[in-house]
Structure 1
Amino acid sequence: MRLGIYLSTFLLFISSFSLKQKKASDFTPTFTISENPTHKIPKGQIYTFGYLEVLENRKSPSSKTIKVPVYIFKSRNPNPKKDPIIYTVGGPGSSTMPSAQYMNSYQYLDDRDFILIEQRGTYYAEPHLDCPEWSLAIYESNQPNFDSRNKDELFENAARACKEKLENRGIDLNAFTTNEIAADIHDLVQVLGIEEYNLLTISYSTKIAQVLMRDYPEKIRSVVMDSPLPLEVNYDEESVGNLLQTAEKLLADCESEENCNYAFPLIKRRFFDYLIEKTKNPLEVSVQNPKNGERETFYLKGKDLISIFSSASTEEVARIPFEINKLLDGDLSSVKEQLISLFQEPGDGAGRGMRLSVWCAEENPFNSSEVIENETYKYPEVTGLSPVVFKDEICKIWSVKTVSEIENEPVESDIPVLLISGEYDHETPVKWAESMTTHLSKSYHLIFKGWKHTPTTNWSNPCAMEAASEFFNNPNRLPNPLCLNELENLEFYTDY
């Protein structure tokens, strides 16, 4: 089991650590090897698994320690490049560890070692900030007999219950921020003795990359940000507008394509008019509850029916006009499938507490209540669709400290950066990546036509991963892998 240049003398500390009290000034982060990985690793893949132990709150002299799991995967190349890639996924609240199962599919290992690090507070970290109370509230609010007038109270009670549970476990909710996650990665780099490294980040974790570039730039060789979320963007203020603008673009593209326009004439106007009409006169849909066999009736407005676009993956983009046209023709089969899924048992709330801490400390405080109110009722197609991830009252209940103003300002850097966008990504739209290029002097931007969120995770077509791999090998130019030339223009499905 080869660790390359990464493990320093800190590997002498291989015993298990409890969450014990330590003085911040006396504490040194450690990496401890474990023989119990979180997932089954592909046969033949050489790796090391262990836990990085760091302070929960670096600002507190009496802080406990926490653990975050780390995989170090050896490159398939017998003579790998010396600068590994460090990878963490999005969220906030998502786990990076499941990626370990699919190392055979990651092209990055052809050239260099690949390191996965879990974000603190997520599923395999210790502690894990889970909130099953929140998942139960989502489940209850989605049932057909739920009184929407009780929705705010339902989620406020869920937030209180989760907060009380986590704090009773001795967890400092103020310690789960993007800054602390970035500091964890910096500590890992120091502990493993890495001299130079590359960053691969997606969606929310691109904020982690920006903090690392600003606060710990010395050892960063290059960065890939897939579906970037700029620090300076107030996500909630734009989310509904971004959704409608992206849907409008896709349907306009359908109308500009001869076959699609012939099959679904005036699809954009007809769909948006339909959303407005159903906002005034909700669509009544009856489905069979798979739990008890009884018929259940839902009343859907425009804000519900827009999910035909928003829930589609990159693989399903070509079918979106077809699915919309089915709805307009009265075929509710796809809508019914979505509704039946609402009867599935609630989840375990994995990482939800971490998500609450991040959002309530970093996003919510910078929102304009006036803009949020306007965004909620601005668009007649989806009137009442709230743009916020967590409402003000929820964040008041969670009551974490607001981060400093610098966390809402753009990062200036000359580190080579590749920005990757999906053309129809409404969550982190193309315009956000374009705006970042003005602050990142050595940045390049690739837009994958016809794709949606996080192109590097599009397993049906690994072209974006190939572009990222090429960039890591030569970060001083825009990558141009052969697969880019092979990508065909999106051809919308028409069933003709």
Structure 2
Amino acid sequence: MTTTRPRPWLPAALAAGALVTGLAAPSAHAGGDGPAPLGTVARTAGHARFTPGPCPRTADPVPALEGARCGTLTVPENRSRPGGRRITLGVAIVPAVERRASDPIVWFAGGPGDDAVSEAQLAVNGGLNRDRDVIFMSQRGTYSAEPALTCPNIDEFNARAVGLVYNAPSTGRLHVRATRECRDRLARLGADLPAYDTSESAADYADLRAALGLRWWNVFGISYGTDLALTYMRRYPQGLRSVGIDGVLPPSLAGASLTWSAARQGFDGLFRACAQQPACARRYPNLQATFERLVRRLEARPVTTTVRVPDRPSPVKVVLDGGVLVNWLTSATHLAAGVPRSIDALAHGDPSRIAEQWAGGKLSPQAVGRLAHGLAYGVFCREWTPYETEADVIRAGRQAFPSFPRSVLANAPQLPFLHDDCRAWNVPPAPPSIRNVTRSSIPTLVMSAGFDAQTGASNGAYVARTLSRSTVVTVPYVAHVAFAESPCAQSITVSFFRSPTAADRSCLATVRPPRFEIAPLPS
């Protein structure tokens, strides 16, 4: 989950009817002079329509979209009211580099609330389009969709909050106020907020396959996109050749409680790697104990400092408490080589390294106006909080980190004040079936990462128990979403889609731990 705090109901008969209608029409690849390139033919499937057109907007230039075939998918905002308002989802199809297989890959972005079209470069850099077209469609509400349910006011509050005590009740009240302001603005714009959830997003992708005239395709989901992928393969298995999921979030377990287990696993993986590297072990002995002691100490007596942040003319005030330290490390496993040195510096009175990283992420221009909070809270408040209590979150935190103070445990990593936020968001819960376990014989690559502190590696083994043709892989020494930073993970993924029951995992034997930074001993 990449959100910084990291989806109404489609009857089965309607879903099947829409899908059959779409697939009964002539193939979009059929033509008198040979097959038309995927995404170049306008087509209607049920209540949805694909229209070729310009590529969707992105917050930053995406070179991978040069030469892409693009357009929009128009769908009902709320499928229980098919005659109501319609929304458009941006679509981009990046062509294969080599000889093209007939079954493309569709990319499911994370978040919830990240924009898939903006992630095209990540997929291309990882070689995903080597011999298959790759399809990117913005999930409803995200940056390249219309409407885009982004809320810059929340992002701006998160930037200001680096100067506040993270777990303080006063911070919580301000946090909820920003959430309520976001909700009220989106409601005034006419958004049907309960319609932005995983169920509707899954139906959007079923409509896309039909509207593109595809008999078969493959799915690759990352982070929250794995929740969406597992929901999709449970509800719309027709036409699914294979599924890859990386950074696994099981719908049946998703929620704030699960993030505590993930944090424990990711932290332990990193601490263990340091302990197994002699130079790191000698210089930073008992790193786990040092970290947990710092969480308790800072929660009791927060430290205030000032740091320089890129693009900011003046020094920035930063408050470090126990909650900040936990949330910092949840993301800092992506920068694993420097983590022991940063923890040691803080233990010896220098908070600058951690403060700079913490503030730099929140104050970056890339952190404002890009995440679709309208979709994120639709997922959180319809699918997660109705099925776990605040006491459940604390209980899970205490099981993972028995020594942490209650004030830290009450705010799960990346999801502070979530239940209060959801009371302000005020949408009805999704039906309990949204949390059903996915049981399938579709070939599935289940990929996890050894340093993943956001969706722990044990989630992969959990979902694989009911996926009878799954290939389970844990890539060591990398953080959340292995495909994003591991050439080995990329190689395995490409190999899997080429041969879904015989993925080549031999590169795992060559993966090595990071070389941890060794600082001079303090004088």
Q: Structure 1 length normalisation: TM-score?
A: 0.87
* Structure 2 residue 515 is matched with structure 1 residue 494: no
Q: Over residues 356-394 of structure 1, what are the superposed CA-to-partner deviations in whole Å (9 max), with x where a residue is unaligned?
A: 111111111111232124456764345422014553232
Distance 1:288 1:417, change over 3 A: closer
Q: Over residues 48-79 of structure 1, what are the superposed CA-to-partner deviations in whole Å (9 max), with x where a residue is unaligned?
A: 110011111111143211100111122122x3
Amino acid paired to 1:324: I
Instruction: Tell me which residue corresponds to 1:99.
Output: 119
Instruction: Tell me which residue corresponds to 2:504.
Output: 479
Q: Over residues 171-208 of structure 1, what are the superposed CA-to-partner deviations in whole Å (9 max), with x where a residue is unaligned?
A: 11111111111111111110111111110100101111
Corresponding residue to 2:72 among 29, 32, 51 = 51
Corresponding residue to 1:384 among 404, 407, 413 = 407
Amino acid paired to 1:38: R
C-alpha separation between the residues in 2 aligned to 1:279 and 1:389?
A: 15
Instruction: Tell me which residue corresponds to 2:145.
Output: 125
Deviates more, 1:38-47 or 1:434-443: 38-47
Distance 1:472 1:402, change over 3 A: same
C-alpha separation between the residues in 1 aligned to 2:447 and 2:37?
A: 29
C-alpha separation between the residues in 2 aligned to 1:287 and 1:107?
A: 38
Deviates more, 1:102-111 or 1:227-236: 102-111
C-alpha separation between the residues in 2 aligned to 1:312 and 1:396?
A: 30
Corresponding residue to 1:398 among 405, 425, 440 = 425
**Helix, strand or coil: the match of 2:102?**
strand
Q: Over residues 260-299 of structure 1, what are the superposed CA-to-partner deviations in whole Å (9 max), with x where a residue is unaligned?
A: 2122222222332233233333334344799685784x55
Amino acid paired to 1:312: A
Instruction: Tell me which residue corresponds to 1:365.
Output: 386
Native 8 Å contact 1:5 1:193 kept in 2: no
**Helix, strand or coil: the match of 2:215?**
coil
C-alpha separation between the residues in 1 aligned to 2:109 and 2:219?
A: 11
Instruction: Tell me which residue corresponds to 2:15.
Output: none
Distance 1:52 1:267, change over 3 A: same
Distance 1:233 1:146, change over 3 A: closer
Native 8 Å contact 1:42 1:103 kept in 2: no
Distance 1:410 1:146, change over 3 A: closer
Distance 1:159 1:349, change over 3 A: farther
Native 8 Å contact 1:5 1:192 kept in 2: no
Instruction: Tell me which residue corresponds to 1:18.
Output: none
C-alpha separation between the residues in 1 aligned to 2:171 and 2:449?
A: 34
* Structure 2 residue 222 is matched with structure 1 residue 202: yes
Native 8 Å contact 1:84 1:197 kept in 2: yes
Question: How much does 1:146 deviate?
Answer: 9.7
Native 8 Å contact 1:10 1:191 kept in 2: no
Instruction: Tell me which residue corresponds to 1:412.
Output: 439
Native 8 Å contact 1:308 1:320 kept in 2: no
Question: How much does 1:396 deviate?
Answer: 2.3
What is the identity percentage for the equivalent residue pairs of Structure 1 and Structure 2?
26
- Which ranges of structure 1 fall in alignment gaps of 5 or more residues? 14-25
Instruction: Tell me which residue corresponds to 1:183.
Output: 203
Instruction: Tell me which residue corresponds to 1:333.
Output: 352
C-alpha separation between the residues in 1 aligned to 2:341 and 2:118?
A: 33
Equivalent pairs, count: 477
Question: How much does 1:442 deviate?
Answer: 0.6
Native 8 Å contact 1:86 1:115 kept in 2: yes
Q: Over residues 94-124 of structure 1, what are the superposed CA-to-partner deviations in whole Å (9 max), with x where a residue is unaligned?
A: 0111233566524122211111111010011
Native 8 Å contact 1:10 1:30 kept in 2: no
C-alpha separation between the residues in 2 aligned to 1:239 and 1:12?
A: 41
Native 8 Å contact 1:418 1:445 kept in 2: yes
> What value does the CA root-mean-square deviation take over the aligned residues?
3.0
Matches within 5 A, 1:218-367: 218-287=238-307, 293=314, 296=317, 298-314=318-334, 316-338=335-357, 341=360, 347-348=368-369, 350-367=371-388
Instruction: Tell me which residue corresponds to 1:19.
Output: none
C-alpha separation between the residues in 1 aligned to 2:245 and 2:514?
A: 24
Native 8 Å contact 2:143 2:370 kept in 1: no
Q: Over residues 375-419 of structure 1, what are the superposed CA-to-partner deviations in whole Å (9 max), with x where a residue is unaligned?
A: 567643454220145532321222222111111121100000001
Instruction: Tell me which residue corresponds to 1:23.
Output: none
Native 8 Å contact 1:176 1:358 kept in 2: yes
Corresponding residue to 1:68 among 83, 89, 92 = 89
C-alpha separation between the residues in 2 aligned to 1:48 and 1:331?
A: 51
**Helix, strand or coil: the match of 1:142?**
helix
Amino acid paired to 1:251: F
Question: How much does 1:475 deviate?
Answer: 0.7
